[in-house]
A and B are shown apart, each in its own frame.
Chain A
Amino acid sequence: MTDTALRQGAPDRTRVITWLQDYGVYAAVAALLLFNAAFTPHFLAVDNFRTQLVQVTPIVIVALGMALVIGTEGIDLSVGSVMALAASVVALYLGYGALPAIAMAVLAGALVGAAGGTLVAVVGVQPIVATLALLVGVRGLANVFLPQLKEFTNPTLVALGSDSVAGVPIVVIVAVVLTAAVAFLVKRTTFGRQLVAVGGNRAASRLSGLPVRRVLMTVYILSGMLAAVAGVLATSRLQASDPTSLGLFMELSAITAVVVGGTPLTGGRIRVLGTVMGALLMQLLQATLIKHNLPQSWTQMAQAVIILAAVYAARERR
């Protein structure tokens, strides 16, 4: 973006790729919006945008946690199962009221995160292995707590999933607040800076006296809590706790959102807004294909193309 570059004239391939990695996801979202505005009936309706935002909410929230973990050069595969666990814990404690039940669900998420964090930071298990074990185990635990789908009528919880404030659904407000909080955490706090440093060079961070273990531990706990919040929101929207199928393959959607948003899997860098955009891109893509009544296999292939493009851009950059 410097003068020299402009004077140079010849578009440098690496510069194009850098641009793509930084702003490609925004461009893609804009392109999809334009396409839909032109070709999809009833797309430019307020209700439609509300629907898209509401549907993308759980993915965004889970992806925020995932972005933090990936920033430390880790990965958290347990998020989908944590959502299921949150769903079953909510059902289990709803008798005490909505708020205590939600608190218990988030606590459960934090506990799973602490277990993953312990395995990674203290025992030294590779993140992918540690959280894979949790992916399997926690889903089982969720099914033990609640073996099958259970509907609920708790008015507070139902309202959380379906009410709006000033026209904005509550779940979307929650997602926006959490996004802002995570962005603040990453950009402005000591913890956020230490987090990316740990991901960028763990040995250097340790020699610089950074609390590496504590940072890793906290990151996995945060990821677990965010996944639990996503699970609660998804449950409140469904008006039923469904530990069997809630959050299935969520880890993949979240990783996709993070990667497409320009956060490298190699750690050391986190793009919070990019992650949100990545999730939105995938949501819009799916909505576009559904609205045009195209088969699901198209969605999957289109997603694959986008992921490849994102990973390619990330590789070329180094």
Chain B
Amino acid sequence: MSVSSPVLEAVGALKVFPGVTALDRASFALGQGEVHALVGENGAGKSTLIKVLTGVYRLDEGEIRYRGERVEFSNPLEAQRAGISTIYQEVNLVPQMSVARNLFLGREPRGRFGLIDFARMRERASEILRGYGVRADVRRPLGSLGLGAQQMVALARAVQADARVVIMDEPTSSLEPREVDKLFRTIAELKAQGRSVIYVSHRMEELYRICDRVTVLRDGRLVHTGPLAELERLRLISLMLGRDLAEVAAEGLTKFSGQHHSHAAPILQATGLRHRHVLDDVSLAVRPGEIVGLAGLLGSGRSETAKAIAGALPLDSGEVVVAGERVPGGSVAAAIRAGINLLPEDRKAEGIVPTLSVRENIVLAALPRLARAGIVSEGDVDRVVQKFMRRLRIKAAGPGQRVSELSGGNQQKVLLARWLAMNPKVLLLDEPTRGIDVGAKAEVQALIDELAGDGLAVLLISSDLEELVEGSDRVVVLRDGAVAGELDGAGVTEDKIMAAIAGDNDD
């Protein structure tokens, strides 16, 4: 169970928040030179553990030991100075500052008189980033880079700091496959140098590819720790979910049932969508009860297609027709009235309203329907909220809890509830399962399936090919803003999707 000489360890860690015991006397030990997977469902306590290790939170009981000594970091900076670097799921750098500044923030190369030596800083920054496959003008603001590139800058920054321990929280969630490879190579290098990595991810494949050991948390408690290779994939999932092995095996890894054959006329028809530099004559149709997957790399126009259909991206030309009626372009309200609802990709920036409660978030779009003469009917609101909280199994202390306090998966369910409350005809789901844990992912997938079963038309965008293949009846593949292929029925396989993305379709 234990590691011979742990670099970083938490012993009997207890952390209580109002209403929740986030860490329930959990222990964790990270050995030197190992890549250690930290897994668990939402609310299992992974984030809390990381925050406790890096000085964001303080323990109520128990202790943190770093290199054999008891430590109490009062803030992340102190932990970083001691050699513990963290890369968060959401890039936590300064978007307005230049790439170079971000890379060296807090340890800029100094010239004479202690002034920042900008020339040297820029030079070294480009050099370092080239090593990570990022070719960008390091003088430009970080925010002008894509999410993936930003993530790489964050990685480079964390590794550059003389870190003994690097903590990565869902580092691949916004990376391209090429970037993922780069990341894994970097992790291997870190390991070879005797540094340690804590790796948090929901992607099983990744875990098995790079991790030596695994620690599983559930409900704030330690349920398993040991070498990863010895642990079967299904066994690991059952540990995380606390469910029976057989049950997991029977249900498969995703929750999609497969096909919903539908021969009804398409309810959504988008034709010739164009937006300069982004969309080039994209057309697609979805029937009621059908799940159409939309595949493609980042920047292929996937999200933009969805936004254009939902009225959030003005069109240069093209039209969207729902149930035979043309939807006026460029107006979200009009699209919603027509029954088109978009679950946006960036849950935090475009989805939840963090200051409001679960209840207010669920009914946000439906408010006018739940009001008479502009006055909200609280009874109607309560009914809708109760119905969807139960139906989607939203885990919250109550409808009044702030949505920002929920786990990612539950936030996603709140957003789904927001749209289901509108009785939509067409659901556009942009990465509905990204960044949420296995259990919630399965629930969301099952739900999408169920919705399609109820006759909803679903457009599913995902960078998880497995999800696309198992979930979709048809898949439309985009490349460079144009449709590069369409796969149907038995033709929907990962290989074919990848071939279409790569552009060597031989259909």
Chain A interface residues toward B at CB < 8 A: 1-2, 4-5, 8, 10, 15, 188-191, 193-194, 196-197, 199-201, 203-211, 264, 267-269
Closest B residue, CB atoms, query A194: B367
A-B contact pairs, 27 of them (CB 8 A): A4-B20, A4-B21, A5-B16, A5-B19, A10-B60, A188-B378, A189-B374, A189-B375, A190-B368, A190-B374, A190-B375, A193-B367, A196-B353, A197-B353, A200-B354, A203-B349, A204-B350, A205-B353, A207-B351, A208-B364, A209-B333, A209-B335, A209-B337, A209-B365, A268-B355, A268-B356, A269-B355
Report yes or no: B355 in contact with A205, Cβ–Cβ below 8 A: no
Cβ–Cβ contact B344 & A190, under 8 A:
no
| CB-defined contacts of B312 to chain A, threshold 8 Å | 206-207
Report if A211-B333 is in contact (Cβ < 8 Å); known contacts: A4-B16, A8-B16, A10-B60.
yes
State the majority secondary structure of interface residues on A: helix
**Number of residue pairs spanning A and B whose beta carbons lie under 8 angstroms apart:** 96
In the complex, chain B residues 344-398 whose Cβ is within 8 Å of any chain A Cβ:
344, 349-356, 360, 363-365, 367-368, 371, 374-376, 378
Whether the Cβ atoms of A203 and B350 lie closer than 8 Å is yes
> Quick one: which of B21, B336, B342, B375 has the most chain A CB within 10 A?
B375
Which residue of the partner chain B has the closest CB to A7? B16
Asked, given contacts A10-B60, A207-B342, whether A193 binds B349 with beta carbons under 8 Å apart, the answer is: no
The answer to whether the Cβ of B279 comes within 8 Å of any Cβ in the partner chain is: no
Residues of A within 8 A of B355 (CB): 196, 199-201, 264, 267-269
Q: In the bound complex, what is the Cα–Cα distance between A193 and B418 (angstroms)?
A: 14
Chain A, residue nearest B403 (CB): A200
Kindly state the separation between the CA atoms of A191 and B18 in the bound complex, as whole angstroms: 31
Contact string against A for B residues 144-177, beta-carbon threshold 8 Å, 1 for contact and 0 otherwise: 0000000000000000000000000000000000
Bound: A1/B368 CA distance, A: 33
* Chain A positions within 8 Å of B60 at CB level: 8, 10
Given A4-B16, A15-B18, does the pair A190, B353 have CB atoms closer than 8 Å?
Answer: no
Closest B residue by C-beta to A266: B355
Residues of B with C-beta under 8 A to A269:
355
Instruction: List, in ascending order, chain A residues with CB within 8 A of B335's CB.
Output: 209
Known: A1-B18, A188-B375, A200-B356. 17 other contacts (CB 8 A): A15-B18, A189-B371, A194-B367, A196-B353, A196-B355, A196-B356, A199-B355, A200-B353, A200-B354, A203-B350, A207-B310, A207-B342, A207-B350, A208-B336, A209-B333, A209-B336, A267-B355
Q: Does B332 contact A (CB under 8 A)?
A: yes
Residues of A within 8 A of B376 (CB): 188-190, 193
Of chain A, the residue at the smallest CB distance from B21 is: A4
**Which B residues lie within 8 Å of A197 (CB)?**
353, 356, 360, 364
A121 to B371, CA, bound (A): 25
Q: Are A193 and B360 closer than 8 Å at their CB atoms?
A: yes
The chain B residue sitting closest to A206, CB to CB, is: B332
A207 and B332 contact, CB distance less than 8 A: yes
* Interfacial residues of chain B within 306-355, with CB under 8 A of chain A in the complex: 310, 312, 332-333, 335-337, 342, 344, 349-355
Distance of A242 from chain B, by nearest CB (Å): 38
User: Quick check: A4 and B364 within 8 Å, CB to CB?
Assistant: no
CB distance from A144 to the nearest CB of B (A): 38
Assembled-state Cα–Cα distance A4/B365 (Å): 34
Closest-CB distance, B423 to chain A (whole angstroms): 14
Query: What's the Cα separation between A208 and B337 when bound, in Å?
Result: 11
The one of B349, B352, B371 in contact with A190, judged by C-beta atoms closer than 8 angstroms, is: B371
Write the nearest CB–CB distance from B108 to chain A, whole angstroms.
27
| Distance between Cα atoms of A210 and B367 in the complex (Å) | 10
Question: CB-defined interface of B190-233 with A at 8 Å, one 1/0 digit per residue?
Answer: 00000000000000000000000000000000000000000000
Partner of A205, one of B336, B342, B364, B378: B364
User: What CA separation (Å) do A268 and B410 show in the bound complex?
Assistant: 21
Residues of the A chain whose Cβ atoms lie less than 8 Å from the Cβ of B374: 189-191
Interchain nearest-CB distance for B388 vs A (Å): 15
Q: Which residues of B contact A (CB under 8 A)?
A: 16, 18-21, 60, 310, 312, 332-333, 335-337, 342, 344, 349-356, 360, 363-365, 367-368, 371, 374-376, 378, 418
Q: Which residue of A lies closest to B337 (CB)?
A: A209
Whole-angstrom CA separation of A202 from B277 in the bound complex: 26
List of A residues within 8 angstroms of B371 by Cβ: 189-190
* Docked-complex contact B18 and A5, CB < 8 angstroms: yes
Choose from A5, A188, A201 the contact partner of B352 (Cβ within 8 Å): A201
Separation of A269 and B350 alpha carbons in the complex (Å):
18
The reply to whether A2 and B375 contact each other, CB–CB distance below 8 Å, is no
Contact B365 A201 (CB under 8 A): no
Which residues on the B side are within 8 Å of A196 (C-beta)?
353, 355-356, 360
- Contact call A268/B21, Cβ cutoff below 8 A: no
How far is A284 from B360 in the complex, measured between Cα atoms in Å? 36
Identify the closest chain B residue to A269 (Cβ): B355
Distance in angstroms from B360 CB to nearest chain A CB is: 6
What's the least CB distance linking A111 to chain B, in Å?
23
The residue from B19, B337, B354, B375 contacting A268, defined by CB atoms under 8 A apart: B354
A267: min CB distance to chain B, Å: 8
Which residue from B352, B367, B368, B375 sits with its C-beta under 8 Å from A204?
Answer: B352
Contacts of B19 in A (CB 8 A): 2, 4-5
Q: Judge whether A208 and B354 touch: CB under 8 Å.
A: no
A268 and B353 form a contact (CB under 8 A)? yes
How far, in angstroms, from A2 to B19 measured CA to CA in the complex? 6
The minimal Cβ–Cβ distance linking A15 to chain B, given in whole angstroms, is 7
Q: Are B18 and A193 in contact (CB under 8 A)?
A: no
B-chain residues with CB within 8 Å of residue A203 when the two chains form the complex: 349-350
Complex: how many Å from CA A191 to CA B16? 37
Measured between C-beta atoms, what is the minimum distance from B379 to chain A in Å? 12
Complex formed: what's the CA distance from A316 to B333 in Å?
37
Interchain CB contact under 8 A, A207 and B18: no
CB distance from A9 to the nearest CB of B (A): 10
CA separation between A189 and B377, bound complex, in Å?
9
Q: Are B353 and A201 in contact (CB under 8 A)?
A: yes
A190 cross-chain contacts in B, Cβ below 8 A: 367-368, 371, 374-376
Q: Is A208 touching B365 in the complex (CB atoms < 8 A)?
A: yes
Nearest-neighbor residue (CB-CB) of A8 within chain B: B16
Closest to B397 in A: A2
CA distance A194 to B333 in the complex (A): 14
- Complex Cα distance, B367 from A269, in Å, reads 17
Q: Does B344 contact A207, Cβ atoms closer than 8 Å?
A: yes
CA distance A2 to B353 in the complex (A): 24
CA distance A189 to B371 in the complex (A): 8
Which one of A2, A4, A199, A204 has the highest number of Cβ atoms from chain B below 10 Å of its Cβ? A204
A6 to B332, alpha carbons, bound, how many Å?
46
Residue of B nearest to A199 (CB): B355
A10 → chain B closest CB, angstroms: 7
Contacts of B375 in A (CB 8 A): 188-190
Which single residue of chain A is at the shortest CB-CB distance from B360? A193
Q: Give the complex CA separation of A194 and B367 in angstroms.
A: 8
Query: A267 CA to B355 CA in the complex, in Å?
Result: 8
